[in-house]
Amino acid sequence: MDVMAAANAREADGRRVIHMEVGQPGAPAPRAVLDEAQSALGHGRFGYTEAKGMPILREAISAHYGRAYGVDVPAERIVATTGSSAGFNLAFLAAFDAGDRVALTTPGYPAYRNILSALGLEAVEIEVGPETRWALTPELLEAAHREKPLKGVLVASPANPTGTMMTPDALKALAQACEYLGIWFISDEIYHGLVFAGEQETALRYSDKAIIINSFSKYYCMTGWRIGWMILPEMLLRPVERLAQSLYISAPYVSQIAAVKAFSATNELEAVKQGYAENRATLLEKLPRIGFDELLPVDGAFYVYASVRRFSNDSHDFATRMLQETGIAATPGADFDHNRGHRYMRFSFAGNHQDMVDAMDLLSDWLK
C-alpha cells in the first residue's frame, strides 16, 4: 500500500505509472453483477440481513461447490462475510483463545500475521522453499507442533505472494495431519478459479473440520464490494454468527444480492482470466531474459515472485528506484518474508496486456 501511495503521487504529478503492486483485478465486476446492483438500488431501502448472510446467497455458494468441486456443502454451513478479511477475523476469534499459536508459511500474506498479533495470538512462521515446492508439509508442521503445541494452521493455495499452489495430494496430506494432531486447518482459497497450471481442490474434500475462507474479490473482480464467505464445521457456526452480529451485523445488502449473479458470469470471467494468462506468459518469458532468473512456480493467482539478487540485496530500495526511474510500481518482499524478502519482489500481472509488455521493455532498458 505504501508503494501504491507513492505511485498515486507520481500519477498526480502527471507522470505515467504501470501498476504491478496491488493484488486486485484490473477488470470491473461482471455485467450481471452490476445490473443486479443497479436494480437493487432502484428499490431504495437496504436493511440488515441475517448475520450469516442472505439465504439466496448462501444457497448459490452451496450450488457452486457442487458444480466446481463435486462437494455437497449445506447452505447452513456457509457464512457471508465482509470480504475474506472479516472471515479471517471471525475464524481466529471463534477457533482460538488469546495466546494460542497458529502456524503460517513464509513467504506469505502479511495481514495473517498482523491480525493474529492484534488478537493476542502468536503467529508461528514456518519457512518453506524449493525443496517442498514452496508448500507446507506435514513433516514441517509436526516439527513445529513438537517444539511447542499449535492450535491451528493457515494455508493459502494458490498463495500470495508466490502464486504457487499445493497439489491435491499435498493438500490432503496436510488436512489429514491437522486432524491427527488435533489442530484447526484454515484453508484460504480466495484465488480459486485463477489457476493456470495444476489442479485446484478445496480442503473440504479431505476434511469436514476444515475452515474454508473464500471471496468474490479475485476471480469475480469484486474487490471493493467487500463480500466473501466462510464454510465452517458445525461447532463453529453459532460462535461465528454471534461474533459477526457483534462486529459488523451483516455483510452489505447490495453486495450480497449482486454477488449471487457472479456465478452466472462464467464466460465473462473466463475471458478476464485469459487476459491474465497472456500477461503471465509474457512475464514468464521476459523476466528471465532481463535477469530475473529465479522465479517461484506461478500456478495461479496473478503474481510473479522473483528474486532481485542479481541487481540488489535490498528489494525495498530496488522498488523505490524502479518506480522513480521507470514508472513501474511493484511490491518489495520484506513484508511477505522477514528473513528472505529483501531479495524478492512481487509483480502483479492483473493489469492490461499492453502495460505488461511496456513494463518488461522499460525494465529491460533500465537494467541494461
Q: Which residue has the higher pLDDT, 368 or 105?
A: 105
Q: Is residue 37 part of a domain?
A: no
Beta carbons within 8 Å of 120's beta carbon, 6+ residues apart: 98, 99
> Which uninterrupted H or E stretch holds 329?
strand 328-329
Whether residue 1 has pLDDT greater than 80: no
Of 320, 315, 322, the residue nearest 367 (C-alpha): 322
Q: Which of 248, 263, 278 is the last residue of a domain?
A: 263
- The 10s digit of each residue's pLDDT in 167-196 is 999 999 999 999 999 999 999 999 999 999
**Exposure on the CB side of residue 44, measured as CA atoms within 13 A:** 0
Whether residues 58 and 188 share a domain: the answer is yes
* Set of cell numbers at residue 263: 456465478
Claim to verify: residue 282 and residue 256 sit in the same structural domain: no
**What span, in angstroms and rounded, lies between the C-alpha atoms of 263 and 255?**
13
Tell me which residue range forms the domain holding 322. 2-29+266-367
Q: Which helix (H) or strand (E) holds 186?
A: strand 184-188
User: Which domain-ending residue is among 229, 263, 297?
Assistant: 263
* CATH code for position 237: 3.40.640.10
Q: What is the pLDDT of residues 262-288, one digit of tens each?
A: 999 999 999 999 999 999 999 999 999
Condensed to tens digits (0 to 9), the pLDDT of residues 17-70 reads: 999 998 899 899 999 999 999 999 998 789 999 999 999 999 999 999 999 999
Q: State mean pLDDT over 342-368.
A: 96
Per-residue pLDDT tens over the stretch 88-144 = 999 999 999 999 999 999 999 999 999 999 999 999 999 999 999 999 999 999 999
Would you give the DSSP letter of residue 51?
Answer: T
**Is 108 part of a structural domain of the chain?**
yes
| pLDDT at 4 (0 to 100) | 84
Cβ(31)–Cβ(268) below 8 Å: yes
Q: Are residues 320 and 234 part of one domain? A: no
Distance, in Å, from the CA atom of 77 to the CA atom of 73, rounded to the nearest integer, reads: 7
- State phi, psi for 299 to the nearest 5 degrees: -80, -35
**Does residue 206 surpass a pLDDT of 80?**
yes
**Cell for 123?**
503467529
Q: Which of 235, 263, 291 is the last residue of a domain?
A: 263
CA distances, 339 to each of 275, 296, 314, 320, 334 (Å): 34, 17, 12, 20, 8
Asked whether residue 146 falls in the same domain as residue 250, the answer is: yes
The per-residue pLDDT for 177 is 97
User: Which of 209, 147, 212, 157 is closest to 180 using CA atoms?
Assistant: 209
Whether 304 and 354 map to the same domain: the answer is yes
Whether residues 67 and 11 fall in one domain: no
- pTM comes to 0.95
* Average pLDDT along the chain: 96
Q: In the chain, count of helices (H) and strands (E)?
A: 12, 12
The per-residue pLDDT for range 132-160, each reduced to its tens digit, is 999 999 999 999 999 999 999 999 999 99
Task: Calculate the CA 4 to chain-centre distance.
Answer: 18
Q: Is residue 130 part of a domain?
A: yes
What is the side-by-side strand order in the sheet with 184-188? 78-81, 228-231, 211-215, 184-188, 152-156, 101-106, 122-127
Structural domain total, the chain: 2
Residue at 327 is within a domain: yes
Give the C-alpha separation, 115 to 109, whole Å. 11
CATH of the domain at 341: 3.90.1150.10
- 13 & 143 share domain: no
pLDDT greater than 90 at residue 225: yes
* 100 domain-assigned: yes
Distance of CA 155 to the CA centre of its chain: 10
| pLDDT score of 22 | 84
- Give the model's confidence band at 293: pLDDT under 50 very low, under 70 low, under 90 confident, else very high: confident
Q: Write down the pLDDT at residue 237.
A: 98
pLDDT higher than threshold 80 for residue 323? yes
**79: β partners:** 230
